[in-house]
């Protein structure tokens, strides 16, 4: 049997399926290597990074660029969560070097895929991508529809980091409007990015609506990893949405948050020259993010459905742990 010359990058991200049938979508993929990458993606998105890393490791040296880039991206982020930062850094460097090595002998589709996956690796670590060009519809149209939707999320996230929330929401709304089929994993990330934008704008009802849409796509398959990845950026929305009504899922999300964010900070902080703190609990971090953005104690209390006394207790604990005296000093320890 002849080897296939090209493969679908990030096949599970690129896949359309009915929520609740994610594993079935993986298992019915006809190509063995794409199925292996998709299974690694599945393990990652359900919060089992050890298995994700194990599945991708054999493909890190694949001669097929789509497979190698996909394996490296999953492997890099899986190893953030398991604390193997040397492996994560190696995979991130491999993505960047592969993208930089693309030349005119490579198909435009493959060059676009490599470029966007390299950009993804940087942006999701809140690091400036080497290619700082803006949203490019021409390049996006070279990607598969599912991957295109995901890199729209990456671009929206990049706009969010630049505090251009209107641009971010515009990208998200366009991506969601033009989806002709359901791509659950990009959909989850797009709705979470919209939640981040609306929380930054203090439009909590719209943020809550997008959080619920993300949950509708994620819950049937247990795709909890994205919520843990974005916990700090969601402005207490995880606590407000899940703590009472979905206690078991909430515990899993918080466990994912702790393991992922520890590795994320260890790579992000030295590269970005940042002081994103690791001294706070997840609830304290959520409160601190809101306080750093100018929310009053009463607003935090109403949003997170906790007592005013509890908010004041958290604020006091946060200031003490960070060895600061003013709320205005919080911002340098928080996520952007």
Q: What is the DSSP letter of 84?
A: -
Each residue's pLDDT tens digit, 276-324:
888 999 999 999 999 988 999 999 999 988 999 999 999 999 999 999 9
Asked whether the predicted pLDDT for residue 4 surpasses 70, the reply is: no
Given a cut of 50, whether residue 268 has pLDDT beyond it is yes
Distance CA 317, CA 328 (A): 15
Predicted confidence at residue 100, as pLDDT, reads 87
DSSP code of 89? H
pLDDT at 135 over 50: no
Residue of 266, 262, 238, 237 lying closest to 251 (CA atoms): 238
Residue 128 confidence (pLDDT):
74
For the segment 55-59, the average pLDDT, to the nearest whole number, is 94
Asked if the model's pLDDT at residue 2 lies above 50, the reply is no
**134 pLDDT above the threshold of 60:** no
Q: How far, in Å, are 3, 68, 161, 283, 320 from residue 186 at the CA level?
A: 29, 21, 19, 27, 39
Q: How far is CA 116 from CA 24, 148, 268, 283, 307, in A?
A: 28, 9, 19, 33, 44
What gap in Å lies between CA 140 and CA 94, rounded to an integer? 22
Give the global pTM.
Answer: 0.93
| Residues 200, 112: Cα–Cα separation, whole Å | 31
The pLDDT score that the predictor gives to residue 5 is 63
Tokens of 218: 């994620």
Q: Which range (76-80, 114-118, 186-190) has the least confidence? A: 114-118
Residue 175, CB half-sphere, CA atoms under 13 Å: how many? 32
% helix, strand, coil for the chain, step of 5: 70, 0, 30
pLDDT interval class at 179 (50, 70, 90): confident
Taking residue 138's Cβ as centre, other Cβ atoms within 10 Å add up to: 8
- Among left, alpha and beta (phi > 0; psi -120 to 50; other), residue 4 is beta
Residue 132: pLDDT over 70:
no
């Amino acid at each position: 049997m002849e080897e296939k010359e090209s493969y679908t990058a990030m096949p599970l991200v690129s896949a359309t399926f009915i929520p609740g049938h994610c594993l079935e979508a993986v298992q019915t993929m006809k190509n063995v290597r794409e199925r292996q990458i998709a299974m690694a993606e599945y393990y990652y998105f359900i919060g089992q990074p050890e298995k994700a890393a194990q599945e991708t490791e054999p493909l890190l040296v694949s001669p097929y660029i789509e497979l190698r880039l996909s394996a490296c991206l999953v492997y890099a982020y899986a190893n953030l969560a398991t604390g193997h930062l040397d492996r994560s850094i190696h995979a991130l460097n491999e993505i960047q070097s592969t993208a930089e090595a693309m030349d005119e002998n490579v198909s435009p589709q493959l060059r676009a895929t490599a470029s966007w996956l390299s950009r993804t690796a940087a942006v999701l670590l809140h690091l400036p991508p080497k290619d700082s060009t803006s949203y490019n519809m021409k390049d996006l149209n070279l990607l598969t529809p599912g991957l295109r939707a995901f890199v729209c999320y990456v671009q929206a996230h990049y706009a969010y980091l630049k505090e251009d929330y209107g641009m971010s929401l515009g990208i998200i709304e366009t991506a969601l409007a033009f989806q002709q089929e359901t791509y659950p994993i990009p959909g989850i990330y797009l709705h979470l990015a919209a939640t981040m934008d609306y929380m930054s704008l203090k439009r909590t009802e719209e943020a809550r609506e997008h959080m619920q849409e993300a949950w509708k796509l994620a819950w049937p398959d247990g795709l909890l990893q994205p919520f843990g990845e974005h916990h700090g950026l969601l402005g207490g929305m995880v606590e407000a949405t899940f703590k009472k009504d979905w206690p078991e899922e909430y515990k899993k999300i918080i466990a994912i948050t702790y393991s992922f964010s520890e590795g994320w900070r260890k790579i992000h902080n030295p590269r970005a020259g940042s002081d994103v703190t690791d001294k706070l609990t997840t609830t304290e971090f959520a409160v601190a993010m809101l306080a750093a953005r100018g929310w009053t104690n009463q607003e935090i209390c109403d949003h997170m459905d906790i007592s005013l006394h509890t908010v004041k207790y958290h604020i006091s604990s946060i200031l003490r742990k960070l060895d600061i005296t003013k709320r205005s000093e919080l911002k340098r320890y928080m996520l952007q």
